[in-house]
Structure 1
Amino acid sequence: MRTFAILLRSLFLVVAAAILLANPGHAAEFERNIMTGGPTGTYIRIGKDIAALGGECGLTLNVVESAGSLENFVGVRNRRNTQFGIVQSDLLEYLKTFEANDPEVQDAVRGVRIMFPLYNEEIHVLARTGIASLKDLEGKKVAIGVKDSGTFLTASLILDILQVNAAERLPFNPDQALPKLQAGEIDAFFYVAGAPASLFANADIDPAQFHLLPITEAPLLATYIKASIPAGTYSFQTDPVDVVAVKAVLMTYDYDPGKNAYHRQSCTTVSDFSSLVLNGMDKLRETGHPKWQSVDLSALPPGWQVGSCVKAGMALDYEPACTRAKDAGPADNNEDYLNLLKQRLKN
């Protein structure tokens, strides 16, 4: 597991260097960014839905593609003008566990906060039909995602928990892995994404050659949540598939508005978008990604704090700093829900 700490430090150095190159000797213009994932994943679609809420009142939120959870975590902590990132809850659990053992990781975690829990991400493992279970990946070539992605973290943890010794753990992202699987170059690949994942929904996958593996092994249930991918979610999948899931979480930083102008503007941004998401849930469920239907904003993973700027935006009388008139939302109708949510998030 020390590999992840080394990777975390490397990412911090890369991000810090990028900031210096982009901003030599002067402060960058203030902007708002959310780090998401690859172009075919669910993270980027969720990010675009949140950005659309901001756009309705003139608040521009740039949706930034990334390799996934670990890069997003580092981005929120260390990348300028990046107030939001979407990460997986098993990454949070890993860092929380590792925090006490490593001062550098402890420093990385300090100040990072949950904005809201989002949805469960199903763990997809697409494999040749001759492979029936995760145990059958023993001795096989398996793509586990690029090293700074959430898929890499989850795949590595699952294979380690089950003590499955793949012949090769290959660092291909899902977009790269799918054609390699179809060409017979690998035997299976992991992909952590909220179903329906557009990679599978838009691909021509032969059901006679490939299928989603069931993931029901008891040792995994101490870390992951039981889930199911319904029949017909993908054209190649005629039956429901029992799997496990990890929760996606919208992360932010606990900005101090009294520290400087950047912290003050960023805190306002976090408060504004907290309010927009809270009061825009009906619209998100109606017009956004199907995963918004299953979002429970009060389902916080244990042990993590909600940011003070988030709590400010949750006030019923909070008004986002819109630069364009915004249609009145259903705040009055949601008052009971918001009060309940505030009570659950109070600590």
Structure 2
Amino acid sequence: MKRSVLAAAIGLALSTGYAQAQAFERNIMTGGPQGTYIQIGRDIARLGAECGLSLNVVESAGSLENFVGVRNRRNTQFGIVQSDVLEYLKTFEANDPEVQKAVKGVRIMFPLYNEEIHVLARRDVGSMKDLAGRKVAVGRKDSGTFLTATLILDILQVKAGERLDINPDEALPKLLSGEIDAFFYVAGAPAALFSENAIDGGKFHLVPITEAPLLATYTPSRIEAGTYSFQGEPVDLVAVKAVMMTYDYDVGRNAYHRESCRTVSDFSSLILTGLDRLRATGHPKWKTVDLTALPPGWQVGVCVKAGMALDYKPACNAPAAGAAGADDSNEEYLNLLKQRLKQ
């Protein structure tokens, strides 16, 4: 893995101070306007609204920017991050003081769902090796898509003719117009970018990603036929885990830390007790969420643990519509989480 991939993001985390704000806010950093992260963020914000707690859903470039935001951006209590970003940081943390400083205080809130690694390409790109010598968009440098695309191409030793550092929203029209040959997009299927845009299945397809060297880092997955209108057959590929991150606030430090910790506890409780509603009414990826699938080597924050208590009561400003106490399934999740935290 190349350390330079995260250099810009880590440098920003170290050099940017907390921006001053006049009033306390709650924010979750997500992704682009047609991505899965932003839809997941909106689902969580709706849970908060039912409780009278406002949560701003912030668009971003993706995982790297979100990780830095949780570490360094005032009034940003939450961010959604890819698991391979976390694995990358853990790889270098032990021997790199800059990385140690960048990750200090950042904690796991909940693991979420698997994100499929989409590579949309011209039909003459039949496999990952066919990207050699082609024009390939790999995402903005502060995005998780950029890190994943870079790692995959390096692991497979595929040398693209040109790598364009543009986001998927910009890459799609360039692919359709013939300016590029393919682009990477890490997003939970179904991704709105592919569902809401006209793509000719006779000219473009999702490239299978089944190469054995990738299985040490990524999880085998499949996008079933018909998930997208242009996709007539199932596609085997790989996926990463999306993880909700937060910061380990110190309630004894100041009022801002106390309010932020309370926010983290409140939303931990709301997600835990509202998971069935999220599965029923939210993005389809909620149906696959396993709150016990904690990535190894990362700690859960103390404010998260406080909100996981079965007797915890969120600081609602209004009665929660349709809210209910913890049922048997939520208690089961809590017990499993406690077991994992003791390991």
Query: Which bin holds the TM-score, normalised by the shorter protein?
Result: over 0.9
Query: 2:29, 2:69 within 8 Å by CA — same for their partners in 1?
Result: yes
Deviation at 1:10, TM superposition (A): 3.8
Maintained 8 Å contact 1:49/1:289: yes
Structure 1 residue 3: Cα displacement: 1.7
Deviation, structure 1 residue 226? 0.3
Amino acid at match of 1:112: V
Number of residue-to-residue matches in the alignment: 340
Aligned letter for 1:144? Answer: V
**Which of the residues 314, 327, 334 maps onto 1:332?**
327
TM-score, structure 2 length as denominator?
A: 0.96
Superposed, 1:53-68 pairs within 5 Å as 53-68=47-62
1:228 paired with 2:222, answer: yes
In structure 1, the residue matched to 2:287 is: 293
The 1:308–1:42 alpha-carbon spacing in structure 2 relative to 1, beyond 3 Å, is same
* Structure 1 unpaired stretches of 5+: none
Partner in structure 2 of residue 3 of structure 1: 4
TM-score (norm 1): 0.95
Matching residue within 36, 40, 56 for 2:30: 36
What 5-or-longer segments of structure 2 have no aligned partner? none
Deviant stretches of 4+, over 3 Å: 13-16
Matches within 5 A, 1:273-312: 273-312=267-306
Aligned to 2:337: 341
Deviates more, 1:263-272 or 1:95-104: 95-104
SS of match in other structure, 1:146? coil
Contact map agreement 1:145 1:172 (CA 8 A) in 2 = yes
Q: What are the within-5 Å matches in structure 2 for residues 188-337 of structure 1?
A: 188-326=182-320, 327-334=322-329, 335-337=331-333
- Please say if residues 257 and 263 of structure 1, whose CA atoms lie closer than 8 Å, have aligned partners that are also in contact: yes
Q: Deviations over 1:144-199 (max 9, x none)?
A: 00110010000000000000000111011111111101111101000000000000
CA distance, structure 1, for counterparts of residue 90 and residue 215 of structure 2: 19
Query: Which residues of 2 match residues 35-114 of structure 1 at below 5 A?
Result: 35-114=29-108
State whether residues 14 and 102 of structure 2, in contact with CA within 8 Å, keep that contact through their aligned partners in structure 1: no
Deviation at 1:15, TM superposition (A): 4.6
Residue type at the aligned position of 1:337: Y
CA contact (8 A) 1:122 1:193 kept: yes
Give yes or no for contact 2:209–2:238 (8 Å, CA) kept in 1: yes
**Residue 265 of structure 1: SS of its match in structure 2?**
helix
Residue 258 of structure 1 deviates from its aligned partner by 1.1
| Alpha-carbon shift at residue 346 of structure 1 (Å) | 4.1
Distance 1:145 1:108, change over 3 A: same
Contact 2:310 2:326 in 1 (8 A): yes
Query: Offset at 1:330?
Result: 4.7
Q: Distance in 1 between matches of 2:147 and 2:241?
A: 14
1:332 Cα deviation (Å)? 3.1
Please list the CA deviations of residues 259-312 of structure 1 after superposition, one character each: whole Å capped at 9, or x if unmatched: 111111111110000000000000000000000000000011111111111000
Distance 2:47 2:237 in 1: 32
Contact 1:15 1:75 in 2 (8 A): no
Q: Could you tell me whether the CA contact under 8 Å between 2:106 and 2:248 is conserved in 1?
A: yes
- RMSD of aligned alpha carbons: 1.3
The 10-residue stretch of structure 1 (258-267 or 153-162) with the greater mean CA deviation from structure 2 = 258-267
* 1:8 aligned partner, one-letter code: A
Q: Secondary structure at the match of 1:71?
A: helix
State how far apart, in whole Å, the 1-side matches of 2:6 and 2:201 are. Answer: 39
* Letter of the structure 2 residue corresponding to residue 68 of structure 1: G
SS, match of residue 172 in structure 2: helix
Moved more, 255-264 or 185-194: 255-264
Residue 147 of structure 1: aligned partner: 141
Q: Distance in 2 between matches of 1:99 and 1:341?
A: 25
Q: Which amino acid aligns with 2:5?
A: F
- Quote how far apart the aligned CAs of 1:13 are: 6.3
CA distance in structure 2 between the partners assigned to 1:250 and 1:28 by the alignment: 26
2:181 maps to which residue? 187
Once the 2 structures are TM-superposed, how far is the Cα of residue 54 of structure 1 from its aligned partner?
A: 0.5
**Letter of the 2:282 counterpart:** G
1:4 deviates by 2.7
Q: Which moved more, 1:124-133 or 1:6-15?
A: 6-15
